[in-house]
A = this chain, B = another copy of it.
Amino acid sequence: MFKERFSVAYTITGNKKDAYEKARDICLEQTVEIPDSLVPDNFIREHILGKIESFKKIDSNRYRAVISYAVENIGAEFTQLLNTLFGNISIKPGIRLEELILSPRILKNFKGPRFGRNGLRKLLYVRKRPLLCTPLKPLGLSSKELSELAYQLALGGIDIIKDDHGIADQCFSPFEERVRLCAKAVQRANKKTGYSCIYVPNITSHANEIFKKALFAKRHGAGGLMIAPGIVGLDTMRQIAEDDSIGLPIFSHPALQGTYVINKESGISHYALFGQIARLAGADAVIYPNFGGRFSFTREECREIIDGTGAEMGNIKSIFPCPGGGINLRNVPELIRFYGNDVIFLIGGSLFSHNKDLVEACRHFRKIVGDSR
């Protein structure tokens, strides 16, 4: 017992005294939840209590505190890891979860993404170039209309065709009907093109439905699954990713997660949330709003996500960043310089408005990223 600890880096806002006080507070709050004066002077104080491993100035009003916890505090549950990382202190202003520094025994508990970057490339038969993804939209189209759209996109050479995340199980395009038609449409196009495009339905839904939906999608030819872990819970995504009876790549959507990242002094860093945590939760690709689009992410924040999706994490595979929004056919070359090849470009509105001929627009998109496989 108590032979291994893992660490978490937090950015704490405040002057040195206050920030250090907050760091000590994290040690208590994330473990024993009692005042220091009541902590028993036995193994609980020695091991279970969090420990400040380092405390360093970042700038005049910010400090980086690295705090370690006993692996025994977690058990085998991802939920309890999340709780220890940021449960109660999510309620305290001026504390941002910056980076997970996990130890072998913690990492061993999780399988992480099933495919990761290499696995997804193999599945899609794309060796080097950036991958292309397009959403089916808008909400209100019938399943038939969406599947016709899917057919054209696949014919044009898009690699991944996903539901818009607001398309769930509405009367316009009920889930089962939509999945059947769209998966078939993509397969029909693949037969013509020889490509390996996949259809990725949005299975974000009730806790008692999501597994059924995952299995249904798999049985009816879907090639991946999109889940919004902010809505269904990160651990639900992890379970679906790790389930061998499903075995499809997972695309994580950021709906309802935005609040965690948009305030610099609280919440969770882009690096940790969309990189490290998404990987532990089994995502093979993490969708997020690109810089320069209709959301407010900066280049630096997107860089953090690239780093978090690719950083060394023991047995946990690296995954694809999937920036969307603000990507148009004109700025793709610049974005390739920024992202390199290990990226999935999610391009929606601008593709639809590019040309009356959607198939042509897709071909153009594919040509820009390098038509080879």
Contacts and interface: CB of A to CB of B under 8 A. Distances in A.
A44 B238 CA distance: 35
A254 B33 CA distance: 14
Interface of A: 1, 25, 29-35, 37-40, 43-44, 48, 72-80, 82-84, 86-93, 135, 137-140, 164-166, 168-172, 204-209, 228, 230-236, 238-239, 254-263, 266-268, 289, 294-297, 348-349, 352-353
A78 to B, nearest CB: 7
Contact of A165 (B77, B87, B140, B296): B87
A288 B258 CA distance: 22
Contact of A140 (B37, B48, B139, B254): B48
8 contacts: A1-B171, A75-B168, A77-B169, A83-B231, A91-B258, A92-B296, A93-B263, A207-B235
A90 B25 contact: no
B352 A87 contact: no
A139 B259 contact: no
B44 A138 contact: yes
A231 B231 contact: no
A163 to B, nearest CB: 11
Contacts of A204: 79-80, 83
Contact of A236 (B91, B236, B259, B289): B236
Contacts of A168: 75, 77, 79-80, 83
Given A37-B353, A80-B168, 4 more contacts: A40-B138, A75-B169, A89-B258, A259-B268
B289 A91 contact: yes
Contacts of A31: 138-139, 166
Given A206-B79, A258-B92, A268-B259, A34 B232 contact: no
B32 A137 contact: yes
Contacts of A43: 140
Sorted nearest first, the 4 A-B pairs with minimum C-beta distance are: A233-B233, A91-B258, A87-B255, A90-B258
Nearest to A209: B77
B256 A262 contact: no
A207 B243 CA distance: 12
Contacts of A78: 206
A138 B39 contact: yes
A175 to B, nearest CB: 9
Contacts of A295: 91-92
B239 A235 contact: no
Most buried by B among A48, A164, A231, A296: A231
A32 B84 CA distance: 37
B235 A206 contact: yes
B79 A205 contact: yes
A70 to B, nearest CB: 9
A74 B259 contact: no
